[in-house]
Amino acid sequence: MNADGSQEPLEVPVNINLSLMEVLRAGGYPIAGTCGGIALCATCAVDILSGNEQLSPAGDQELDMLDLLPQSTSATRLGCQLRLRPEMDGMVFRITPAG
Amino acid sequence: MEEQRENIETDICVVGAGPVGLFAVFEAGLLKMRCQLIDALPQVGGQLSEIYPHKPIYDIPGYPQILGQELVDRLMEQIAPFRPGFTLGERVETINRNDDGSLTLMTNEHSTINCKVLVIAGGLGCFEPRKPAIDGLTEFEGKGVAYLVRNPEVFRDRNVVLAGGGDSALDWTIFLADIAAKVTLVHRGDTFRGAPDSAEKVFALAKGGKIDLLLQAHVSALHGDGRLQELSILTPQSPVARIAADHFIPLFGLTPKLGPIAEWGLAITQSAIPVKPEDYSTNLDAVYAIGDINTYPGKLKLILCGFHEAALAMQSAFKYIYPAEKLNFKYTTVYGINTF
Ligand SMILES: Cc1cc2nc3c(=O)[nH]c(=O)nc-3n(C[C@H](O)[C@H](O)[C@H](O)COP(=O)(O)OP(=O)(O)OC[C@H]3O[C@@H](n4cnc5c(N)ncnc54)[C@H](O)[C@@H]3O)c2cc1C
Ligand code: FES
C-alpha cells in the first residue's frame, strides 16, 4: 500500500529465496535495509495490513529491533526476516514510515 | 548573537568519524596534513560502533576476524600519532566558500572549522533519533522534549517520562529513578527484551513504587504553555489519560538520514554523492567524498573499498594544497610514521 492509501500489486516468483526487504529494495521502494538483512538496524519495517496470520512468529532478535520502532504494533515485522513463501500470496502491507 | 563553541583552523576537515573518515586521517597524516574530525554522534566509529559493535567482520586484510568496535579502537590507535582534533556530538550544517578558496563549516552547536580541503565521509548520513508520531513532539523539542540524556543533572527533582523498550530506555529509567522526583516509563509491549538484568531491575523499581511503569501504552500527545506540562497516554484500560511531565525522553534508537549534506550544493543521486573514481573528488572544488556516501561505476559499500578511496583522495588533496611540491610517493616502510 502506498502512502496515499492506494494499493500496488507486487508480483514475485516464489522460488527465489529472497526476503520481502530484498524484493522491495530491488523494486526501488523506499526501504533502507541498512544492515543488509541481519535484524540489526530496523530500517526495513513493514506493517502487515492483512495476512498476518500466515506468517511465522518473530524471533527474539526481530522482537528486540521492533522494540526500537516507536510506531510498531503487533502487526509490524522486519521485512528482512520475512522470506517470501507461497502462503504470503494476497498479503497486504505498508512500509512503516519511521522504519 | 549565538554562542560560538569552537573556532578551528586545519588543513583537512573530515566530516564523519566512521572507519573511512578515521583512515583518511591516517593517510593525511602520512602526508603531514592536519585533520579535524567531526561527527554528529558522541562517539567515533560510525556504523560499526552504532549498529554492530559486537559483530565479527571477516573481510579486513590481516584480520581473519575482528569485532566492529575492535576495528574502530585499532583505527584510533593507528591515527593517534597524528593527533587529529575531534568535534564529536555536533552535526555539520553548512559549508561556505571563502575568497581564498578555503571552506568554513558551521555545526549545529555553532562551532566553525576553516579548512583547505573538505572530506565528506558521511556514510549513510547522520544518525538521528527515531521520532514517534506524537502530536506536539517537535513543538516541545528543547522545551521539555529531549531524545538523549546528555547531562542527567538536568532531570534532578523533575517529573520525567521516558518511552521505549530497548536497553537505553531501561538503563536511563534505572539511572534517573535516583535523580528525578518522579520517573514514568511508557512501553508499547508488556515484556522487555533488553538485558534481562535491567528488565528485572525496572520491574522491581515499579513494584517498590520507585517508578511508574505503564505497559501496553503509548504517548499520544504533548501539552503545555510554551513548555511541556502534560502528556496524553493511551492504555488498554483508559483510551486517554493525562499525566503531568516536565520532561519527555523518547528512546527509540537512531536511524540514518542524509540530513544537511543534501544542502551543500553537491550533485546527489539516490542519497549518494557522485565522484571521479580516480581521486574521489566531487563536483565542488577541494571537496572529496569517500566511503558509503559516494557513488561511481562499480562502487562497493565495503570498509576495505573506503580505505582505498581515502588513500587516493588524500594524495589528490596534497596536490591541491601544495601544488608546487612534488609528492614523492614512498611506502610507509621507507618513511616511517613521522608525526607532527
Ligand atoms: C550490520 C552491518 C554489517 C556490516 N558488515 C560489514 C563487513 O563485514 N565488512 C565491510 O566491509 N562492511 C560492512 N558493513 C558496511 C560498513 O559498515 C560500511 O561500509 C562502513 O561503515 C562505511 O564507513 P563510512 O566511514 O563511509 O561511514 P559510516 O560508518 O556510516 O560513518 C559515517 C559517519 O558520518 C557521520 N555524519 C554524517 N553526516 C554528518 C554531518 N553532517 N555532520 C557530522 N557527522 C556526520 C555519521 O554520524 C556517521 O558516524 C556493514 C554494515 C552494517 C550495517
Ligand atoms: S535490514 Fe536491517 S533489520 Fe532488516
**Do the chains contact at B165 and A71, CB–CB below 8 Å?**
no
**Model confidence at B2: pLDDT above 60:** no
Same domain, B228 and B150: yes
Beta bridge partners of B118: B13, B287
**Do the chains contact at A34 and B188, CB–CB below 8 Å?**
no
The stretch B22-38 carries a mean pLDDT of 97
Please state the length of chain A: 99
More confident site: B56 or A4:
B56
| CA–CA distance, B131 with B164 (Å, rounded to integer) | 11
What is the domain count for chain B? 2
Same domain, B158 and B104: no
The one-letter amino acid at A96: T
One DSSP character per residue, A47-61 reads: EEEE-GGGSPPP-HH
Cβ of B92 less than 6 Å from ligand 1: yes
Same domain, B116 and B180: no
pLDDT along chain A (99 residues), means of 10: 74 82 90 90 92 86 87 90 87 82
B292 is in an annotated binding site: yes
The stretch B145-168 carries a mean pLDDT of 92
Put simply, whether the predicted model's pTM sits higher than 0.90 gets the answer: no
- B122 falls in which pLDDT band (50, 70, 90)? very high
Cα angle A18-A20-A22, degrees, rounded to a multiple of 5: 60
Which ligand approaches the C-alpha of residue A19 most closely?
2
Same domain, B123 and B18: yes
Same domain, B85 and B139: no
B135 is in an annotated binding site: no
Cell 561505476, residue located: B297
| CA–CA distance, B330 with B198 (Å, rounded to integer) | 53
The set of cell numbers assigned to A21 is 526487504
The closest CB to that of B253, out of A32, A42, A97, belongs to A42
| Nearest CA-CA partner of A65 in A24, A96, A27 | A96
Output phi, psi for B221, to 5 deg. -155, 155
**Model confidence at B158: pLDDT above 70:** yes
Give the model confidence (pLDDT) of B293-302 as tens digits.
999 999 999 9
Radius of gyration from C-alpha coordinates of chain A:
12
User: Rounded mean pLDDT of chain B?
Assistant: 92
The set of cell numbers assigned to B300 is 562497493
B52 is in an annotated binding site: yes
**Model confidence at B59: pLDDT above 60:** yes
Q: Which of B231, B250, B269 is the last residue of a domain?
A: B250
The stretch B14-30 carries a mean pLDDT of 97
- B1 falls in which pLDDT band (50, 70, 90)? very low
The closest CB to that of B51, out of A41, A63, A99, belongs to A41
Q: What is the pLDDT of residue A16?
A: 80
Q: Searching chain A, which residue's CA lies closest to the CA of residue B50?
A: A41
Domain interval for residue B95: 7-127+254-335
Same domain, B113 and B259: yes
